[in-house]
Amino acid sequence: MKILNVAWKEILTTYRDRAALITMLVAPFALTLVMLFAFGNSGTVVLENIPVAIVNQDGGELGQALVDVFESDELADLLEPSLVGTATEAKALVDEDKAAAAVIIPAELTSIITTGGPPATDALATIEVYQNPGRTLSAQIIAGITDQFAGNIVAGYTSGHLLWETLTASGSIPTDELQIQIESLVNASISNTIITVNATEQNISQAQSSSDFNWAQYMGPSMAILFLMFSVARGGRILLVEQDQGTLSRMLASPTRPSHILIGKVLGIVSASILQMLILMVAMRLLMNVSWGPFGPVLAIIVAVSLAATAWGILIGTRARTVAQAGNLGTAISLIFAAASGNFYPRSTLPEFLQKASLISPNAWALDAFESLAQGGGMQDVLIPVIGLLVMTLILGSIAVLSFRRRYASAQA
Amino acid sequence: MRKILALAWNNIRLELSDRSSLVFLLILPLAFTYIIGIAMGGAYEPESNASTDTRHPVIVVDQDASALSAQLIAVIETSQIIRPVEQNLSDAIDIFKGQGVSAYVVIPAGFGASITTGQPTLLDLVTAAGDNYALTTGQAVQAAVAELNAILSAAKTTTDILVSLNASSLPYDQLLQENLQAASAVAAEAPVTVLHTGPSATTSEIAVGFAQTSPGQLVTWVLITLLGSSVVIASERTKGTLYRLMAAPLSKGQILAGIILGRLALGLVQIIILIGFGSLVLGVDWGSSYSALALLSLSFALAAVALGLLIGVLSKTAAQARELTTAISMITAALGGAWWPMEITPQLYQTAVKILPTTWAMQGFTDVILRGQDVSGILIETLVLLGFAVAFFAFSAKKFDYE
């Protein structure tokens, strides 16, 4: 009964603290909302309507052909091209972050290639792609499109130049027919593809390897776990706060066994944590339509991760010397665990050494479990992570109990 | 002024006397900058000149080792977007799966022989699904192959014509080789070229990896440090030390200034360390205008410390202030573009987050670092940040209470 009283008091204290509620409930909810706002339910980055400023100083067909490429139906969703009068204006748009890149087509582009007869070798037409370094991805897509277009021009030029030299030297075709013959040969040459690129996309992350992967279903619990660690670290501090305020000594002086005090505290923190996760789960389901997965496996993960996180929190609380130190340590460990175990990015996209090293954190095991659920998995898929979390609880809990006994001895002294 | 400095110094000493503070000031920011930089693709840099060559690495597995496969690699090397890195297939797959590269290319055995005999040849290009740079690296590989195709087609067409006209006495293979060399020479001197440029005064290269994550992590961690002024205010108030300071010959403004100045100094030192770490250890180019960088850092620090003051004034306890500091730091840093590039978010999102100081700070750092802007180029961001600082200070001063 005394254990339950201590636990109940702990839950009440936690949920009466409005600032704590911000970390426990408001922050994870808000961050999930932001993530969904920024990336949608799929979590995939889809670039569209990339603004590109084009300056066509070339009056010929090649300049127009490049403009046509950027204005083609095929690229209509990806690009938002606009024709600009001068290079200065176009570059200003990039500098002002109103365009991802400016493509400046030189005046001599067509004439340098299609003057008839042997191409001049000393002239040079340079297409400039002025890229916005703040929009790396978009700018490089525009540069890539321009590179491919220029590659086609070079292909035609190379064929034309080589054929002109060879056929002129051979003297086998009359000069007045040469130009027509070469044009037809160049066209045939360009369409003759010798090397074909067999391009395939491969899923390198476990998360992406399933077409059923639901990013929102992963990110919702991920944010909840991130802030669960913060709130549990705060729970661990409670012991030190009580010691500072003298209430721990008073409790120890009461006819309550120290082990009951510790069990009551732990039970309170674990219950508050489970409640925190359940509230977030329900709130995300009702307000964002984000499901965490089937209830049975989700509940198993929630209980296991709450236990493991509490074990970490209590361990920090029993090892730290002051409340401030416990606060700093708790926040630091929470942040390290979050970065190393994939709270901000799908866990499987992190380097392998980080994925392995992060298994000391509750976050990693729980995220593995939620990743399985996000791919359509069930109870059998979360069993190993759940067992991992329980083993972690056992080990850390044992160390925490030993530390608490030492602290209890010093408190009684 | 001496009183303010004494108060500030006292606050710095108190903060640094707790060794766990160093975790937040130094260890975590440096660790995060490194870890997130790796996660964003800045780690796999196999060549000695990698720090200056910011093109995306693409692994090439040359199973043919012929003159033509070497020619393909040479063509890829001329790309302004990607750089070829040769590996065996096993290592290539390991690096690819470890997210080190966005793509790898396999040149199969018999590649050169097939081309010489006029057989169509397949080249395997594997890109990572969902990788931000897969599209651009794939495009660049395709462009390089198109260039080699042009050379091969020109050489083959020319050779076929010469043979059909009986214009050469050389055997077909030898004639094709000669025309390949001639076509390569012509393509190398083609009068059309694409020049990739950018606004940065120091480099035309697009920055990747650490160059993207360093400013983001700087904003996140400096924000946590500076918002920490809230804990100082709340803690001093709950302990009653603020009330006791009233007995000292100090005005309310001087007390606040002392707390702010101490925290501001910590934040600025942290900025210098993070910039130094990014520059010296990770090879990040922080732009050419130190005055712009200093001005922007100072205005961001002022806005952040003022926000911390406001949180401290509004918090009832130090624990409350600590909770709010962590939550607000992380949410505003993420929203403001410190965790992911703003270009991948919807336009509506980009407009909405202009209400946050972190958005303006990130925009300013992008201007200085990537666009090579000087003081005149970041004036708007600086003024907006200073505006935030004034507003937060004014509101805090109004609400400030000793008890």
Which chain A positions have a beta carbon within 8 Å of B194's beta carbon? 126-129, 143, 146-147, 150
Answer yes or no: is pLDDT of A412 > 50: yes
**Chain A residues with beta carbon closer than 8 angstroms to that of B26:** none
pLDDT, position B249 = 74
In the predicted model, is pLDDT for residue B57 greater than 70? Answer: yes
| Interchain CB contact of B320 with A (< 8 Å) | yes
The helix or strand, by DSSP H or E, that contains position B128, with its residue range, turns out to be: strand B121-128
pLDDT at A205: 56
Q: Are the C-beta atoms of A293 and A374 separated by less than 8 Å?
A: yes
Question: Under an 8 A CB cutoff, do A352 and B98 touch?
Answer: yes
DSSP secondary structure of B26-54? IIHHHHHHHHHHHHTT-----STTTTT--
Residue B342 DSSP code: G
Report yes or no: A162 and B183 within 8 Å, Cβ to Cβ.
yes
Confidence of residue A316 (pLDDT cuts 50, 70, 90): confident
Q: Is the dihedral of CA B56, B57, B60, B65 positive or negative?
A: positive
Residue of A nearest to B191 (CA): A124
Of B39, B192, B212, Cβ closest to residue A154? B192
Nearest CA in chain A to B371: A133
Query: From CA B347, how far away is CA B352, in angstroms rounded?
Result: 9
In angstroms, what CA-CA distances link B133 with A379, A390, B5, B41, B373? 36, 39, 50, 9, 26
Contact A19 B321 (CB under 8 A): yes
> In chain B, which residue's Cα lies nearest the Cα of A114?
B191
Nearest to A130 among B129, B135, B198 (CB): B198
Q: Which residues contact A178 (CB under 8 A, 6 or more apart)?
A: A164, A167, A168
Residue B376, Cβ neighbours under 10 Å: how many? 8
Residues of A in contact with B129 (CB under 8 A): 201-204, 208
Task: Return the number of other C-beta atoms located less than 10 Å from residue B320's C-beta.
Answer: 23
pLDDT > 90? residue A254? no
CA-nearest residue to A185 within chain B is B157
pLDDT of A349 = 62
Query: Which residues 213-272 of B are in CB contact (within 8 Å) with A?
Result: none
The string of pLDDT tens digits covering residues A269-278 is 888 889 888 9
Of A19, A166, A339, nearest to B320 by CB-CB distance is A19
**Residue B125 host element (H or E):** strand B121-128
pLDDT value of residue A300: 93
Whether chain A has a CB inside 8 Å of the CB on B121: the answer is yes
Q: How confident is the model at residue A43 (pLDDT cuts 50, 70, 90)?
A: low
Mean pLDDT of the region A203-227:
67
Q: State residue A209's pLDDT score.
A: 47
Chain A residues inside the 8 Å CB shell of B343:
47, 100, 134-138
Closest chain B residue to the Cα of A132, Cα to Cα: B198
- Judged by a CB distance cut-off of 8 A, whether residue B141 touches chain A is yes
C-alpha–C-alpha distance, residues B288 and B294, integer Å: 12
Mean pLDDT, rounded, of chain A: 80
Interface of A with B in 231-290 (CB under 8 A): 234, 237
How much of chain B exceeds pLDDT 70, in percent? Answer: 90
Q: CA-nearest residue of chain A to B207?
A: A133
Q: Which residues of chain B make contact with A63, given a CB cutoff of 8 A?
A: none
Spatial separation of the C-alpha atoms in residues B281 and B175, rounded to whole Å: 53
Q: What is the mean pLDDT of chain B?
A: 81
Highest mean pLDDT among A221-225, A384-388, B327-331: A384-388
pLDDT at residue B42, as a whole number: 47
DSSP H helical segments within B44-171, as ranges? 67-77, 89-97, 111-116, 134-164
B368 vs A20, higher pLDDT = B368
**Å between B58 CA and nearest CA of chain A:** 14
A334-350 per-position pLDDT tens digit? 888 887 887 776 666 66
Q: How far is A155 from chain B (nearest CA, A)?
A: 4
pLDDT at residue B107, rounded to an integer: 92
| Residue B344 to residue A39: CA distance in whole angstroms | 8
Quick check: A19 and B141 CB within 8 A?
Answer: no
Q: What is the pLDDT of residue B360?
A: 95
Of A375-384, B7-16, B225-234, B357-366, least confident by mean pLDDT is: B7-16
pLDDT of B49: 46
Cα nearest neighbour of B38 on chain A: A351
Higher pLDDT, A251 or B183: B183
- The size of chain A, in residues, is 413
A83 and chain B in contact, CB less than 8 A: no
Q: Which residue of B has its CA nearest to A170?
A: B167
**B360 with B383: CB under 8 angstroms?**
no
Q: What is the pLDDT of residues B128-160, one digit of tens each?
A: 876 667 777 888 888 888 888 878 888 888 888
* Residue matched to tokens 């302990």: B239
Q: A187 CB near a chain B CB, below 8 Å?
A: no
How many angstroms separate the CA atoms of A241 and A238, rounded? 5
Summarised one tens digit per residue, pLDDT across range A45-62 is 567 788 999 999 988 888
Do A151 and B150 make contact, defined as CB atoms within 8 angstroms? yes
Is pLDDT above 90 for A395? Answer: yes
Cβ contact B153:A189 at 8 Å: yes
pLDDT for position B201: 44
CB B335 within 8 A of CB B358: yes
- Per-residue pLDDT of B88-121, as tens digits, reads 888 888 888 766 788 899 999 988 888 877 777 8
Q: Per residue, what are the HEC states of chain A?
A: CHHHHHHHHHHHHHHHCHHHHHHHHHHHHHHHHHHHHHHCCCCCCCCCCEEEEEEECCCCHHHHHHHHHHCCHHHCCCEEEEECCCHHHHHHHHHCCCCCEEEEECCCHHHHHCCCCCCCCCCCEEEEEEECCCCHHHHHHHHHHHHHHHHHHHHHHHHHHHHHHHHHHHCCCCHHHHHHHHHHHHHHHHCCCCEEEEEEEECCCCCCCCCCCCHHHHHHHHHHHHHHHHHHHHHHHHHHHHHHHCHHHHHHHCCCCHHHHHHHHHHHHHHHHHHHHHHHHHHHHHHHCCCCCCHHHHHHHHHHHHHHHHHHHHHHHHHCCCHHHHHHHHHHHHHHHHHHHCCCCCHHHCCHHHHHHHHHCHHHHHHHHHHHHHCCCCHHHHHHHHHHHHHHHHHHHHHHHHHHHHHHHHHHC
Residues of chain B with pLDDT > 90: what percent?
15
Query: If DSSP codes are grouped into helix, strand and coil, which group holds residue B80?
Result: coil
pLDDT at B355: 93
Distance CA B311, CA B263 (A): 14
DSSP letter assigned to residue B105: E
| CB within 8 Å: A113 and B96 | no
Partners of residue A17 in chain B, C-beta under 8 Å: 319-320
Tell whether A351 lies on the interface with B, counting CB pairs under 8 A. Answer: yes
Residues of B in contact with A41 (CB under 8 A): none
Phi, psi angles (nearest 5°) of residue A205: -105, 145
CB contact under 8 A, A193 and B132: no
Cβ neighbours of B147 in A, within 8 Å: 151, 154-155
B320 with A163: Cβ contact below 8 A: no
Is residue B382 helix, strand or coil?
helix
Instruction: Kindly tell me if the per-residue pLDDT of A90 is higher than 90.
Output: yes
SS3 B123: strand
Compute and round to an integer the Cα radius of gyration of chain A: 33
Q: Which residue has the higher pLDDT, B309 or B15?
A: B309
Q: Which residues of A touch B37 (CB under 8 A)?
A: none
pLDDT class of A91 with cuts at 50, 70, 90: very high
Closest-CA residue to B202 (of B368, B61, B354):
B368
Q: Among A163, A193, A232, A149, which Cα is nearest to B179's?
A: A163
Averaged pLDDT for residues A234-262? 73
Nearest residue to B304 (alpha-carbon basis) of B236, B357, B383 = B357
**Residue B336 to residues A140, A364, B217: CA-CA distances in angstroms?**
23, 27, 12
Asked if B18 and A324 come within 8 Å (Cβ–Cβ), the reply is yes
- For B387, the enclosing helix (H) or strand (E) is helix B379-399
Counting one residue from chain A and one from chain B, the pairs whose CB atoms sit within 8 A come to 352
Q: Taking CA atoms, what residue in B is nearest to A352?
A: B98
Which chain A residues contact residue B152 at CB under 8 A?
194-195
For residue A334, what pLDDT is reported?
83
Asked if A59 has any chain B CB less than 8 Å from its own CB, the reply is no
User: What pLDDT, on the 0 to 100 scale, is given for residue B202?
Assistant: 42
User: What does pTM read for this prediction?
Assistant: 0.73
Residue A388 C-alpha, separation from nearest chain B C-alpha, in angstroms: 24
Report the distance separating Cα B120 and Cα A376, nearest Å.
Answer: 42
Residue A138: its chain B contacts at CB < 8 A? 343
The residues facing A52 across adjacent strands are: A81, A101
In this complex, is the C-beta atom of A298 within 8 Å of any C-beta atom belonging to chain B? no
pLDDT score, position A299: 92
The count of other CB atoms within 10 Å of the CB of residue A379 is 14
**How many Å lie between the alpha carbon of A144 and the closest alpha carbon of chain B?**
6
Alpha carbons A316 and A333: distance in angstroms, whole number: 9
**A396-410 pLDDT tens trace:** 988 888 887 776 665
Provide CB contacts within 8 A for B197, sequence distance 6+.
A128, A129, A130, A131, B204
Which pLDDT tens digit goes with each residue over B260-297? Answer: 888 899 999 999 998 888 888 877 778 778 899 999 99
**Whether the predicted pLDDT of A118 surpasses 60:** no
Give A182 or A112, the one with higher predicted confidence. A112
**Residues in A touching B315 (Cβ below 8 Å):** 19
B35 vs B44: which has the higher pLDDT: B35
Q: Which of A30, A126, A188 sits opposite B193 (nearest CB)?
A: A126
Strand partners, B192: A125
Q: What is the pLDDT of residue B50?
A: 47
Q: Are B370 and B216 in contact (CB under 8 A)?
A: no
Q: Which of B320, B333, B358 is nearest to B231 (CA)?
A: B320
Give chain A's end-to-end CA distance (angstroms, integer).
27
The whole-number pLDDT of residue B78 equals 83
Write out chain A residues lying below 8 Å of B367, CB-based: 134
Looking at this predicted complex, what is its ipTM? Answer: 0.71
Interface check B169 vs A, CB under 8 A: no
Encode pLDDT of B201-211 as tens digits. 444 344 456 76
Find chain B residues with C-beta within 8 A of A143's C-beta.
80-81, 136, 194, 196
Q: By the 8 A CB rule, do B340 and B219 touch?
A: no
Q: Are B217 and B365 in contact (CB under 8 A)?
A: no
Say yes or no for a CB contact (<8 Å) between B153 and A155.
Answer: yes
Residue A38 to residue B125, Cβ atoms within 8 A: no
Q: For residues B237 and B244, is the Cβ–Cβ distance under 8 A?
A: no
